[in-house]
Amino acid sequence: MPNNSTTDTRKMLAEDLLNVVEDAVTEAVSLTEQQDVQLRDLERVTLTALKRIGQQLLQGLVEACQPAEPEASVPCRCGGAATYVRQRTGTVLTWVEQIQVTRAYYLCATCRRGTCPLDEQLGFRAGALSADLQEAVALVGVHLPFEVASDLFERLTHVSLSDNAVRQATEQIGQERLDADEATVSAAWHPRRLELPAGPAEAPERLYGSLDETSVRTEAGWRKPKLGSWYTTDSRPADEPPEEWKPQAEDISYYADMLEAEDFGRLLYVTGVARGADRAKELVFVADGAPWIWKLVAEHFPHAVQIVDWYHAAERIWKVAHAAYGQGTDLATTWANQRLTELWHGHVDKVIAACEPHAHPERDEDTASEAITYFRNNGHRMRYPEFRARGYQIGSGTIESGCKRVIGARLKQAGMTWTVEGARQVIKARAMFFSGEWDKFCQQRQPGRRSYRRAA
């Protein structure tokens, strides 16, 4: 039971607030007596007053949640019982400044861990930020360098935080997302049971998938985070000829991590199941020609249509043209345009034949030989006339821009060097945000517990 009736609690809080309000108003009104006072001065003193009032109210509300008399013991997470020891005071930084909370503290004789039930009930950690404040701070840290984020956050909210506090908040939520992803993968690959994410109620008509990787500088050297996306596209207007229509991506969701290809493939699979890829009437993958990508697609979604991005294939042709005839020459342009026309119409064999006279396998670097291998390995993924006729997207611009937007824009700024774990955490948080999942995840998250442990 609460330590007071609702009426008594209301009266007590009101009395405390009246004292704070009177002091705040007195201080604010005295400012109006200054001849050079400006509106900004009045705004600032008003905000200060509101925070003092809010701080008093919030602290009173938290204390009102405390039982009148502590229980003799409470259940412990280890399965034992934790015994009441004493009242313990802790602080929490909130939107209305820091509040001080005194609550019952218990100690388990079995595991020697201490706990404060009020912390568990209200979802806060003593000595940390409130959950709502932490999520807002992390959202700024997801988008901006931590030192910029802390300054901007203080200017906008009048809540002062260090660069390190912004980093910790951002990495904490990123780590929670990382933990959630790892738990989902582990459940799906459990040796004795198969627990897959729940997919959409209705199977998608046509779903696209794409994969790519980029590079990030870390303290352990350059690393290659991988990014995947799932998306749909808009419908072709009735008056738009199939040959002229370019589908535009919609409903994009991202997943990312800094893993080896095999482990990333498991993340590919569980996120795909969550989007209904295993039940989609048409599943289409569009990506560049990297062998690791198509190996994962074949392993986890063997029924998918596989398309090599048109622009990557065209780039190979231009490289051969420039190597054979010189950068920017008319001969290079003429030769490349002929090959592009052949490729556009699906004549991969003609493209290969045109490259063969320029191949020099004996050289260490041979652009033509590399292109021939590329087209031979991916020819079945370059049936562009067929793909266009079926209304498929043949460009991987969605994942290309995703790498820049999700990873590059935040992690590849000038002079940045990350820890490996820090990079993973921020990448996870950004992928979640740009997938439109930030609010849902924050609403469902459980704030981390503070561990009190006493030596035996």
* Residue 2 clears pLDDT 80, i.e. is over it: no
pLDDT for res 312: 96
State what percent of residues in the chain have pLDDT above 90: 77
In this predicted model, what pLDDT tens digit does every residue of 269-310 receive, in sequence order?
999 999 999 999 999 999 999 999 999 999 999 999 999 999
Range 255-265 average pLDDT: 97
Residue partners of 37: CB distance under 8 A and separation at least 6:
31
* Residue 245 clears pLDDT 80, i.e. is over it: no
In this predicted model, what pLDDT tens digit does every residue of 217-232 receive, in sequence order?
999 999 999 999 999 9
In this predicted model, what pLDDT tens digit does every residue of 316-339 receive, in sequence order?
999 999 999 999 999 999 999 999
Domain positions in the chain are: 6-162, 312-381
pLDDT for res 67: 86
pLDDT for res 225: 98
In this predicted model, what pLDDT tens digit does every residue of 166-183 receive, in sequence order?
999 999 999 999 999 999
pLDDT for res 261: 97
* Residue 452 clears pLDDT 80, i.e. is over it: no
Residue 374: pLDDT band (50, 70, 90) is very high
In this predicted model, what pLDDT tens digit does every residue of 33-92 receive, in sequence order?
888 999 999 999 999 999 999 999 999 899 888 888 899 999 998 999 999 999 999 999
* Residue 383 clears pLDDT 80, i.e. is over it: yes
pTM over 0.85: yes
Residue partners of 421: CB distance under 8 A and separation at least 6:
171, 175
pLDDT for res 447: 62
Range 103-120 average pLDDT: 92
pLDDT for res 449: 57
Closest CA to 101 of 114, 119, 121: 119
pLDDT for res 287: 97
| Burial state string for 164-181 with b = 16 or more CB within 10 A and e = fewer than 16 | ebbbbbbbbbbbbbbeeb
* Residue 456 clears pLDDT 50, i.e. is over it: no
Range 143-166 average pLDDT: 95
pLDDT for res 3: 47
Backbone angles phi, psi at 306, to 5 degrees: -110, 125
pLDDT for res 448: 59
* Residue 352 clears pLDDT 90, i.e. is over it: yes
